Amino acid sequence: MMSLKFKYNQILSAKIAKSFLYAKQKYFEFGDKPHKLLARQLRKNVSDRMIHKVKSASGELLSSPRDINDRFRQFYETLYTSKADPNPLIMQNFLENCNLPALNQEDSNFLNKEISLEEITETIKSLKSGKTPGPDGYPSEFYKTFSNMLSPYLHKMLVQANEDGVLPSTLDEAFITVIHKKGKDPEEVGSYRPISLLNTDQKILAKTLANRLSTLIGKLVHSDQTGFIPNRNSFFNLRRLFNIMYSQRLPNVDLAVISLDAEKAFDQVEWPYLFKVLQKFNIGDGFIKWIQLLYRNPCARILTNQSLSPRFNLHRGTRQGCALSPMLFALIIEPLAQAIRSHAAIHGYNTKHTLNKISLYADDILLYVTEPQDSIPAILEVINLFGTFSGYRINWNKSELMPIRLQNTSWLEHLPLKLSSDKFTYLGIVVTKQYSLLFKENFPSLMQKLKANIQFWRTLPISLLGRINAIKMVFLPQLLYLYQNIPIFIPKAFHKQLDSIINPFIWDYKTHRIGKKHLCKSKLEGGLSLPNFIFYYWAANLRAVTFLLDDALPPSSWLSMEREECHPFSIGAVILSPVNLEMSLYRNNPIIHSTVRIWKQIKVHFDLRPISFMLPVARNPSFAPSNLDNTFERWGELGISTIGDLYIGGTFASFESLRETYNLPRSNFFRYLQIRDYVRKYLPTFGNAKPSMFDGCIKICPTSDKL
């Protein structure tokens, strides 16, 4: 007996030694790389994922893991219980009055065709690795590794489930784990965001459906909605907001901006309303049947502090963690947005070509209202009516109103809204009433956060490479988000200050042995890929310029407003002008002013030639003949839109070559001489010239993955 125990202990000891060896090998290989291992080290408080105590329904503090788990189960079981008004007539009338778009028959047929084996295979290939598996424990890596073997069986199972009208029970199951919302009371169960851990086979079905829907959803959802819609970005909403708030051409009318805080928006969607909306959009019976299968009998168990609750059924809500949920929610909220747009008593902010009433990023809603004393009561009425059948609720105490221009504010105190006189937060950006305060309210706080992180990271056993990756993994995404969403001119002094904080940390506050210039080079060039922050700043702003230069893009409110500000000139010609223009052309809009200054900053730094190949020919303020008549606008219709179009094979084309290529009339010869003289003035070697690197960058389609 003793010998058996001894052998058993030997086996355990060998197993432990092997585990230690694997741990050391893993730490050696991944400890300083942008990997989960480094990410866990960089977190200040890993234990924060633990929930230490929560309040019961009566306010009593619960601290045992089982009691905490039971409390969350009670909360979510109640949350996912349907509470909508069962009266279908109210819902039907609301949707009928919205005048929603609908898919044509060809698009509907595409959505409703049978799921193919090829689609399943492609979806499996696109699954992200390293994600937490669902209740069955099979991660995406398992399906990707054995895709050739599993795909045919998975495809047959889904086809059979569709015919039977019911999915296997494992596809209905999920674990719900919760993540604390920053700034919320950790003792309140409502202060946590639920994330559904779904089985991978369910994810494959949902993502296959989402891939189909993503190609068509832009036809159904208005451009006001930018959340999770292909080729739309969050900065569209912020840039639109800034143009409305900061333009000095603001009409002399009462104007207010309202930010609505939705209460558990994804979790309270009523399914009868969801299916009715899909019908109104002509999604098609086949596709709707798949959605109904996913929502036929879903169930969940709450996972907190390694404790699992008993299983309970869900009766409403869309699962956060499902690839299909964001697009379904965009369709769900669209009737509300359309009702607000079309309501005669709700007055928006009008410009020459745009009517601005509402912006949406998923469930984050921003309203622009004029005549607010009439508009706001109408908004409250529409939202309350919509909530009776959809489940949508607004937390009015956390919703904010900022008056941009109001002559009488005494009536505001009677509204169920929080009044913000100087600033409010939208999509993570502190929006200030004054444009000049945007930098002060957003960037210094991020710098302080960086300093605090660095103090913690200094205590970690990470190398030079690990410290660089810490900056890239944690700080760079936060800074890049500000760059992309706040269109302001930032002087180089800010980036020098940033370097003065980061460079000593990179070298562990010891002697710098390699210059920053070399550290910023790619690893192929002998560097360590340290981020050059000013380059990221320029790239983020150049991306907005590419949108402004591309007239072929679908209409967007912020594009229309900024183009209107430069009328009668082309905004591209104003930004890329080879000469310093009169500020009167764009001083009414500080956003355009900042964009012009950023482009000049780039030109000076890289010593670019005065004229860009992307400079528009027509409506060019630095080329007077382009504004005398519409000759050069007709050239644009024929294919000559920019200076680069005048070059054929790297050579400035003769008039005869342009006539043959673009079918120009002979009567335009004098105009040709004028544009040739203009190009020669700013490009002495104009006869043979090639696009610069930056010309190539801003020529790329702004929605391209290459940008």
Q: How confident is the model at residue 695, as a pLDDT?
A: 81
- Could you tell me which residues come within 8 angstroms of residue 300 by beta carbon, excluding any fewer than 6 positions away? 76, 80, 173, 174, 175, 176, 196, 311, 312, 314
pLDDT above 60 for 528: yes
How many whole angstroms separate alpha carbon 549 and alpha carbon 572? 6
Closest CA to 86 of 330, 295, 265, 271: 271
Greatest C-alpha distance within the chain: 109
DSSP for 499-512 reads HHHHHHHHTTTS--
DSSP for 472-494 reads IIIIHHHHHHHHHH------HHH
- Could you tell me which residues come within 8 angstroms of residue 390 by beta carbon, excluding any fewer than 6 positions away? 84, 91, 269, 270, 273, 332, 336
pLDDT above 80 for 159: yes
User: Does this model's pTM top 0.85?
Assistant: yes
- Could you tell me which residues come within 8 angstroms of residue 199 by beta carbon, excluding any fewer than 6 positions away? 133, 134, 135, 136, 138, 170, 171, 173, 174
The structure tokens listed for 240 are 């639109």
Phi, psi dihedrals of residue 607, rounded to the nearest 5°: 50, 50
Lowest mean pLDDT among 4-8, 16-20, 157-161, 665-669: 16-20
- Provide the mean pLDDT of the chain: 89
How many whole angstroms separate alpha carbon 650 and alpha carbon 688? 6
Residue 324 and residue 272 in contact, taking contact as beta carbons nearer than 8 Å: no
Domain ranges for the chain? 88-419, 436-531, 539-699
pLDDT in tens, 628-662: 999 999 999 999 999 999 999 889 999 999 999 99
CA 138: distance to chain centroid? 29
pLDDT in tens, 88-129: 899 999 999 999 999 999 999 999 999 999 999 999 999 998
DSSP for 291-350 reads HHHHTTS-EEEEEETTEEPPPEE--S---TT-TTHHHHHHHHHHHHHHHHHH-TT-B-EE
pLDDT in tens, 18-61: 776 666 665 555 556 566 666 677 676 554 578 999 999 898 99
How many whole angstroms separate alpha carbon 556 and alpha carbon 542? 18
Element holding 67 (H helix, E strand)? helix 65-79
Element holding 371 (H helix, E strand)? none
pLDDT above 60 for 269: yes
Lowest mean pLDDT among 180-189, 465-474, 695-704: 695-704
What amino acid is encoded at 690 in this protein? K
Question: Average pLDDT for residues 210-234, to the nearest whole number?
Answer: 94
Q: How confident is the model at residue 706, as a pLDDT?
A: 53
Task: Report the 10 Å Cβ neighbour count for 267.
Answer: 18
Question: Average pLDDT for residues 235-243, to the nearest whole number?
Answer: 95
Residue 210 and residue 324 in contact, taking contact as beta carbons nearer than 8 Å: yes
pLDDT in tens, 285-301: 999 999 999 999 999 99
DSSP for 123-166 reads HHHHPPTTPPP-TT---HHHHHHTHHHHHHHHHHHHHHHHHHT-
Question: Average pLDDT for residues 465-486, to the nearest whole number?
Answer: 93
DSSP for 103-117 reads --HHHHHHHHSPPPH
- Long-range CB contacts (< 8 A, 24+ apart) of 145-149? 147/121
DSSP for 50-65 reads S---EE-TTS-EE-SH
Phi, psi dihedrals of residue 257, rounded to the nearest 5°: -115, 130
CA distances from 160 to 136, 283, 290 (A): 21, 22, 12
